[in-house]
Amino acid sequence: MSLESKRTRMKSGFLFICTVIRSLFHNHSSFRKKAELSSQPLSPTPLVRTGIATLPFPVKPGDLVWCLMPLSEKELKTVPEGHRIRPYWIAQVKNNHVMGFYCSSKPIKQCAENSIFVIPGEVTGLCRSYVDLRQLHPIPFDYLLESICFIPEPIQNQANKWMFLQHRKDSKRQDQIFPVPLMPYPGDILKNKGVVLRCDEQFYTAIKMAANQNLTGGIKTRNQYLSLIHQPIHSYFTASFKADELVGLVDSSTVFRLEKNHSKQKKQAKDKEKMYQMQPSRFRCGEILKDLYDQEYVFLFAANSHHYGYPLDDFIPIQLTCLSKKLSSSFMHLPLEDLMTDLQSLSEHLEKTPFIAILKHLQKKLYSQPEPCRCLLHG
């Protein structure tokens, strides 16, 4: 075989191998592209038409509307017939389409809990609606079928806050879509203020929260348990509310539980105060009593069928003692200045106890009495 014919055969073989490799590479690329497309969510963008269209019925931001799923005809065929019509929560109205969030009557699979916003059933008049806030879908006007209801502005406000919190973590997420002002609402968890319980146009009230490792009597947020046991409620101007204060949200059932717990604690505190109301006594405030062993005590007041005072030899009294009823009077009284000093010390140390109201009352009476009568003050 000549050298020329060998070169020709080698060239033909090389071209054949190149052709096979190109074919394999092309098939692999096509397969990978199809796999990528099938793994991505179906995009309704091609459905959006240019020009100005007419709405089939009045639609505004905040409306919940029955819509044909905004998919192409080919894509719709892959969806079971009974599931092609879905509710969408409309956020924006454009020239020829609306932008809305997908809704479902059941929790949405493969959607993180922090991306789902729940509209209560009493608002929709149907059932609870789970809203996927991850993506706004463009819906052509002719895909709008029937209006369900208008979702009130306070709930739109809460959805905006939900998106605001997610946008703070991930700037790619939607941020405050609904055209309503950001206002405080029951369930807001505010930095340095606590959980909002009630609000109106002028004021809102929030209950302070304290870090606690026990879930009892509190809520969990940001992996931390917050307790409201013995926490105060404060009022603030509604106009002073700022979005940067927002650190979390709780649902209405939690707000109801917080209010119920706080009311219960408040009632218990009042009942406890009633238990310790001053009663008449045969001894006088500041009178020195002694027992059978000549141990001496200073009598202060009687309450709840008991006598209260402190040992005379306490240099600075910091707590009250329930005195025995077998004590007798020494017919002597503690000097006025010493009595006032001891009452002040007790008031400072027992400020968070039910006795504080009685101690303050005794101090007030001592100061208001004429000088000669102070030592004769009755409980």
Contact predicate 189/195, CB 8 Å: yes
Select the more confidently predicted residue: 150 or 229: 150
Residue type, 20: V
Least reliable range by pLDDT among 35-44, 87-96, 159-168, 241-250: 35-44
Contacts of 173 (CB under 8 A, 6+ apart): 134, 163, 166, 167
Least reliable range by pLDDT among 3-12, 78-87, 127-136, 226-235: 3-12
Per-residue confidence band for 38, with pLDDT thresholds at 50, 70 and 90: very low
- Average model confidence (pLDDT) for the chain? 78
Cα within 13 Å of Cα(220), Cβ side: 5
Q: What is the mean pLDDT of residues 281-299?
A: 91
d(CA 195, CA 207): 5
* pLDDT number for residue 1: 53
d(CA 317, CA 346): 6
Tens of pLDDT, residue by residue over 174-198, are 777 888 888 999 889 888 888 888 8
Q: What is the CA radius of gyration of the chain?
A: 38
Per-residue confidence band for 251, with pLDDT thresholds at 50, 70 and 90: confident
> What is the percent of the chain with per-residue pLDDT over 70, rounded to a whole number?
73
Instruction: List the chain domain ranges.
Output: 48-151+165-169, 188-275, 278-376
Contacts of 250 (CB under 8 A, 6+ apart): 187, 189, 195, 219, 221
Tens of pLDDT, residue by residue over 157-166, are 999 998 888 8
Of 262, 232, 263, which Cα lies nearest the Cα of 352? 232
Candidate CATH numbers 2.60.40.10, 3.40.50.920, 2.30.30.110, 3.40.50.720; the one for domain 48-151+165-169? 2.30.30.110
* pLDDT number for residue 66: 94
Per-residue confidence band for 50, with pLDDT thresholds at 50, 70 and 90: low
Least reliable range by pLDDT among 207-211, 235-239, 320-324, 369-373: 369-373
| Count of other CB atoms within 10 angstroms of residue 80 | 6
Per-residue confidence band for 43, with pLDDT thresholds at 50, 70 and 90: very low
Per-residue confidence band for 83, with pLDDT thresholds at 50, 70 and 90: confident
Of 149, 157, 154, 156, which Cα lies nearest the Cα of 124? 149
Per-residue confidence band for 249, with pLDDT thresholds at 50, 70 and 90: confident
Map residue 251 onto helix, strand or coil. coil
* pLDDT number for residue 6: 46
**Bridge partners, residue 131, by sequence:** 103, 117
